[in-house]
Amino acid sequence: MAEVALKPTVNWQKLGAPLLVIMILGMMVLPLPPFMLDLLFTFNIALALIVLLISLYALKPLEFSVFPTVLLLTTLLRLSLNVASTRVVLLQGHTGTDAAGKVIEAFGHFLVGGNYAVGLTVFVILVLINFMVITKGAGRIAEVSARFTLDAMPGKQMAIDADLNAGLIGEDDARRRRAEIAQEADFYGSMDGASKFVRGDAVAGIMIMMINIVGGLIVGVAQHGLDLATAANNYTLLTIGDGLVAQIPALVISTAAGIVVSRVSSDEDLNQQIVHQMFGRPQAIFLTAGILGLMGLIPGMPHTAFLLIGGGLASIGYLLLQRTRAAAEAQPLEAGPAKMDEPVDVGWHDVAAVDRLGLEVGYRLVPLVDRHQDGDLLRRIRGIRKKIAQDLGFLVPPVHIRDNLQLKPNNYRVTLKGVTVAEGEAIAGKFLAINPGRVLGVVSGQTATDPAYGLPAVWIEANQRDQAQTYGYTVVDTGTVVATHLTKVINEHAPELLGREETQQLLDHVGKQQPKLVEDLTPKMLSVTGVQKVLQNLLEEQVHIRDMRSILETLAENAARTQDPDELTASVRVALGRAIIHETFGGAQELPVMALDPNLEHILMQALATRGDAGAGLEPGLAERLVRETVEAVDRQETAGLPAVLLSPPAIRAILARFLRRSAPSLKVLSHAEVPDGKTIRITSLIGGNA
């Protein structure tokens, strides 16, 4: 059999960065000819221009997230070129001003006219501009941005979690947005440190220049026998040319750093932002032109310059004004009032059906639900229904949306079977900054309350959004406020939304995959109404019904023994015990739970046996104390960051959960039979110890 030789493939992209770093470090040790210095200095200038242009066209800082590393490499490249050129200047400087290549000679002669005093002054000014102005400012911006970005991370994470829970985004989008937040914090932190490289490069440039001048004079006079004037001319011009050819790219890179860290994320690049924001108001252009014109008429002023610039600005303002008027006239006229329909006889169509689930909005919120006005609330509601279907296991009815002129302009209400179950206020065009309990500052705006969860909040303008997130607020737009509130209402009233029709549709859906199971259960052993009641009981206690196969199999096993929905629900909960425990505690091996005192358990069991209702069979004082101690234990449990779970005997679990539901809505009552084998129970609180 012939052997096939596999040729190894080399990924040159992965080798590019290591080779570049090795080459840069090698330039500090290996001597370079003048021609190679010309190429490398030209490459350094080109690289600086590329970095500057990329920073100008980036829409947000993260599009150039590699900039801190590029800043380090370019700084290292300049220092390596300084070392290589210093070696050539000191070794060959006595031969003339072209000893270190044509690029250094050109910068020494052309840019400063061959006058080393002028060149020295220009070099020092460039270094001061780079060191004292641009680099210092960029470093300060990066430092403040890094701190504010880190402080705003919890609020941004909560906003992502809120959108995810409301079904507005998927897991992939949430994961991507979380990664962007982490990258943003890392970027500004890296920029804060990388700016120190540029400042150190400026200091090193001054020191290298002084060393080159002094060393050049010593070498030229002592070793090569040059007179002091010739040595000063040659070595000083070479040193100044070397410094300028390095500091000008450094100034360009520092400018790019300042642009990157001072950018505000937008859909426009810097050029478009400057044009739209600085030249978007003709009134400002006209006013400036008028001031320059008046200054040009003052005796003694340079009339030509002032009048020329003023006239140019007036022309630009006129063109902008004409363009604005043309754009306004191009907008389509609003349609006139439609003709009223002819009256028709009263019929069955006038009997309005009651909506299972409805959303009514004031007239200022109509754009949120109007697809012709780019309203995205309809899309969000579809996402909510999809998210709830994935979480709970059934498809909630469609939400009927309508405008209601009887509501205040910014108000909305959620109706269930024609009855208002929730209402709130959402100001169109603004953002709601929700205080999660720990913020670093206060933002100005209209004080409000989060309609969904009752947290303190403030309605703010769009330009305050970044500031509020920096302070730690959770900032959401108007549509998200309504969508989040609607999601909470649907979850709370899920049992009422699961009607007979939805139950039949759910059974039909399961029957496509397990037809024999559904056929044997309904209607032979249990009616659709009986299945519906069991599913409603599960939803009422926040147990999802996604595992319909286990639910139906358990009902089929127990339906011959009993038709009582409560007993069937208890059997189903035992079958779903592993899912219930995982939903509450995750994958934890130890389950921290609250428990009842044995004496209280005995009293409740007796009350159930005699009266059939634990709440009714209890002495009023004992019932009140049971509720009070349970609420206190739930508060302690939640303060400690633990789930509020009460473990009870199976016989009294359902009645105890019903009795405590109104006083402690977040409490989950589990029975011993629902805890799967292999789990360890740890009692954190004992309720009714003095019963």
Q: Give me the CATH number covering residue 592.
A: 3.40.50.12790
pLDDT at site 159: 74
- Domains identified in the chain, total number: 5
In a domain, 16, yes or no: no
pLDDT at 327 over 80: no
User: Do 392 and 430 share a domain, yes or no?
Assistant: yes
Per-residue pLDDT at 485: 92
Please report whether residue 13 resides in a domain. Answer: no
Backbone dihedral angles phi then psi of residue 441, each to the nearest 5 degrees: -160, 180
- 48 burial (CB, 10 Å; 0-12 / 13-18 / 19+) is buried
Residue 18 lies in a domain: no
Helix axes 500-511, 528-540, angle to 10 degrees: 100
Give the pLDDT band (50/70/90) at residue 413: very high
Do 451 and 488 belong to one domain? yes
Q: Work out the pLDDT band at 6, boundaries 50, 70, 90.
A: very low
Q: Are residues 605 and 518 in the same domain?
A: no
pLDDT of residue 374: 59
Domain with 507 in it: 498-575
Decide if 17 is inside a domain.
no
pTM of the model: 0.56
Produce one character per residue of 231-253: b if its CB has 16 or more CB atoms within 10 Å, e if not: bbbbbbbbbbbbbbbbbbbbbbb
Q: pLDDT for 123-153, tens place per residue? A: 777 777 776 777 677 667 666 666 666 666 7
Q: Which residue has the higher pLDDT, 659 or 323?
A: 659
Q: Is pLDDT at 573 greater than 70 in this prediction?
A: yes
Q: Is the pLDDT confidence value at 7 over 50?
A: no
β-strands 645-648, 668-671: how paired? parallel
Mean pLDDT to the nearest integer, 580-585: 89
Specify the pLDDT at position 611: 54
Statement: residue 8 has pLDDT above 60? no
Cα 469 versus chain centre, distance: 10
Q: Which domain CATH number covers 437?
A: 3.40.30.60
Q: Comparing 324-338, 372-386, 398-412, 587-601, which segment has the lowest mean pLDDT?
A: 324-338
pLDDT at 691 over 60: no
> Is pLDDT above 80 for 592?
yes
CA distance 468 to 447: 14
pLDDT digits (tens, 9 = 90+) for 25-34: 777 777 778 7
- Ranked by mean pLDDT, the top range of 198-202, 260-264, 420-424 is 420-424
Question: Do the domain assignments include residue 558?
Answer: yes
Q: 289 with 200, same domain? A: no
Give the residue from 443, 475, 492 where a domain finishes.
Answer: 492
Both tokens assigned to 500: 């007979």
Residue 334 has pLDDT above 50, yes or no: no
For residue 523, whether the previous peptide bond is cis, meaning omega lies within 30 degrees of 0, is yes
Report the DSSP beta bridge partners of residue 360. 402, 413
Q: Which of 554, 575, 596 represents a domain boundary (last residue)?
A: 575
Q: Tell me, what's the pLDDT at 457?
A: 93
Closest CA to 535 of 508, 509, 507, 577: 507
Give pLDDT, residue 15. Answer: 67
Is there a single domain that holds both residue 203 and residue 222?
Answer: yes
CA distances from 105 to 91, 326, 466, 538 (A): 16, 55, 50, 85
Is there a single domain that holds both residue 269 and residue 287?
Answer: no
Last residue of a domain, one of 531, 548, 575: 575
**The token pair that represents 468 in the structure block:** 């509020």
Pick the more confident residue, 276 or 679.
679
222 and 194 in a common domain? yes
Take residue 675 and report the two structure tokens written for it. Answer: 């805890």
Of 74-83, 504-513, 566-575, which range is least confident? 74-83
AA identity, residue 260:
V
**Continuous segment of H or E residues that includes residue 460:** strand 456-460
Summary mean pLDDT of the chain: 79
Q: Which is higher by pLDDT, 350 or 118?
A: 118
What is the arithmetic mean of pLDDT over 672-683?
Answer: 89
230/215 Cα distance (integer angstroms): 14
- 329 or 615, which is more confident? 329
Judged against a pLDDT cut of 90, whether residue 275 lies above it is answered with no
Q: In the structure, what pLDDT confidence band is assigned to residue 424 with cuts at 50, 70 and 90?
A: very high
Distant-in-sequence, close-in-space partners of 541: CB < 8 Å, separation ≥ 6: 657, 668, 669
- Whether 8 is in a domain gets the answer no
Q: What is the pLDDT of residue 336?
A: 44
Are residue 607 and residue 546 in the same domain, yes or no?
no
The per-residue pLDDT for 333 is 44
Residue 3 has pLDDT above 50, yes or no: no
> Is position 340 within any domain?
no
Q: Are residues 107 and 226 in the same domain?
A: yes
238 vs 601 pLDDT, higher one: 601
Closest by Cα among 672, 669, 648, 670 to 660: 669
In whole angstroms, how far apart are CA 517 and each of 523, 527, 653?
11, 14, 29
Both 605 and 546 in one domain: the answer is: no
- Looking at the fold, whether 458 and 519 belong to one and the same domain comes out as no
- The sign of the CA dihedral 570, 575, 578, 583 is negative
Domain membership flag for residue 2: no
Contacts of 200 (CB under 8 A, 6+ apart): 75
* Whether 386 and 520 share a structural domain: no
Residue 278 has pLDDT above 90, yes or no: no
